[in-house]
Amino acid sequence: MIDLIKKLPKAELHLHIEGSLEPELMFKLAKKNKIDIPYKSIEEIKKAYDFSNLQSFLDIYYAGAAVLITKEDFYDMTWAYIKKCVENNIIHTEIFFDPQTHTKRGISFETVILGIKQALDDAKEKYGITSHIIMCFLRHLSQEDAFKTFEEALVFKNIIKGIGLDSSEIGHPPSKFKDVFKKAKEEGFEIVAHAGEEADVSYIYEALDLLEVKRIDHGVQAINSKELLKRLKEEQIPLTVCPNSNIELKVFNSYKEHNIKKLLDYNLLVTVNSDDPAYFKGYLNQNYINLVDNLELTDEDIIQLVKNSFKASFISDELKEKYL
């Protein structure tokens, strides 16, 4: 089964590029850019990755991102992830980036997005890996701040496929960003949002009804509402589930308690993704492997999950037909 996982060409739909920054590169960039980080060694960084919930992770994750200064830094981080795509047989990836994490530190929007984009262009050229960029608003900041970021993003409209919502979930429901997402939709962006990772199903309903999302990122709390499960199934709304992340952030106590098999058996369009692989102990294949090691997944389940990753992607219908 592990062979099957490794052999199948896959798509990844929930990957924060800042979450692919490995401790080794973080340490190297901190030295190069003379940025103080609260760790004396790579081992110390790794030791700090012990989380109790989403917020405890985010605090460390935003601190780590502070080492990224130049366009080359963003290129190097993205290129390192592309190498992992090759290793994991990911042939299409849709990556999130959080511009506000960087513009708040005085790094220009252009530096961030052009560094990422150059690496993605090179990935297509060198390995044939296709990709889309999804810009996320940080939900712990205001809608006004999101609007400012949105205005900056419009200059790069041709290289941004979608708009998403991430960061601290509880207390920052999708409704807080209703107006900016309406504008994003009018401008033709694909809409997604993190919802139902830690917060209850009302956040998923708001993402669907107020933001009109095409996919729900995480969404595992949907299990708590029969009515919502029925809707997600009928409308075949994709859930981009991130098993390792859910375990590391204590959404579930163990892999055996993870609900992805239940969601799949209920015929929801669920996908497997790595979220922040440098922080959550492994890239995409490792997420699949941890699932088969702990849940009663069949070969057919794995094939279905991989098919779903293409079905739920924003690639053209033509390409989808080729991949499915």
Active site residues: 197
CB of residue 281 to ligand HPA, shortest distance in Å = 14
Site map 259..278 versus ligand HPA, x via CB under 6 A: ----------------xx--
259 binds, among ligand HPA, Zn ion, none (CB under 5 to 8 A by kind): none
If one asks whether residue 245 binds ligand HPA (CB under 6 A), the answer comes out as: yes
Helix (H, G, I), strand (E, B) or coil at 246: helix
Q: Which of 95, 107 has the CB closer to ligand HPA? A: 95
If one asks whether residue 166 binds ligand HPA (CB under 6 A), the answer comes out as: yes
Q: Which of 94, 166 has the CB closer to ligand HPA? A: 166
CB of residue 108 to ligand HPA, shortest distance in Å = 21
- Closest Cα partner for 37 from 15, 68, 58, 16? 68
If one asks whether residue 12 binds ligand HPA (CB under 6 A), the answer comes out as: no
CA angle 72, 137, 259 (to 5 degrees): 105
Within 10 A of 317 (CB to CB), how many other CB atoms are there? Answer: 7
Q: Which of 35, 60 has the CB closer to Zn ion? A: 60
Residues 57, 78: Cα–Cα separation, whole Å: 21
Choosing from 22, 73, 206, 275, the residue that interacts with Zn ion (CB under 5 A) is 275
**Which residue stretch of 32-40, 131-139, 267-275, 305-313 sits at the interface with Zn ion (rule: CB under 5 A)?**
267-275
92 binds, among ligand HPA, Zn ion, none (CB under 5 to 8 A by kind): none
| Cβ burial 240-261 (10 Å sphere, 16+ → b, else e) | bbbbbbbbbbebeeebeebbbb
Site map 224..263 versus Zn ion, x via CB under 5 A: ----------------------------------------
54 binds, among ligand HPA, Zn ion, none (CB under 5 to 8 A by kind): ligand HPA
In this structure, is the dihedral angle defined by the CA atoms of residues 182, 274, 46 and 96, taken in order, positive or negative? negative
Site map 48..67 versus ligand HPA, x via CB under 6 A: ------x-------------
Would you list the DSSP string of 156-204?
Answer: TGGG--EEEEES--TT--GGGGHHHHHHHHHTT-EEEEEESSSS-HHHH
Q: Which of 275, 301 has the CB closer to ligand HPA? A: 275
167 binds, among ligand HPA, Zn ion, none (CB under 5 to 8 A by kind): ligand HPA
CB of residue 107 to ligand HPA, shortest distance in Å = 18
If one asks whether residue 167 binds ligand HPA (CB under 6 A), the answer comes out as: yes
CB of residue 143 to ligand HPA, shortest distance in Å = 17
Q: Which helix (H) or strand (E) holds 219?
A: none
Helix (H, G, I), strand (E, B) or coil at 213: coil
H-type helices in the chain, by residue range?
Answer: 2-7, 23-33, 42-48, 54-65, 71-88, 99-103, 109-127, 143-154, 178-186, 201-209, 226-234, 243-248, 260-265, 284-294, 299-311, 317-323
Extract the tokens encoding 232.
């997600």
Beta bridge partners of 91: none
4 CB contacts (<8 Å, ≥6 apart)? 299, 302, 303
Q: Residue numbers of the site for Zn ion (CB under 5 A)?
A: 275
Q: Residue numbers of the site for ligand HPA (CB under 6 A)?
A: 16, 19, 54, 166-167, 194, 197, 245, 275-276
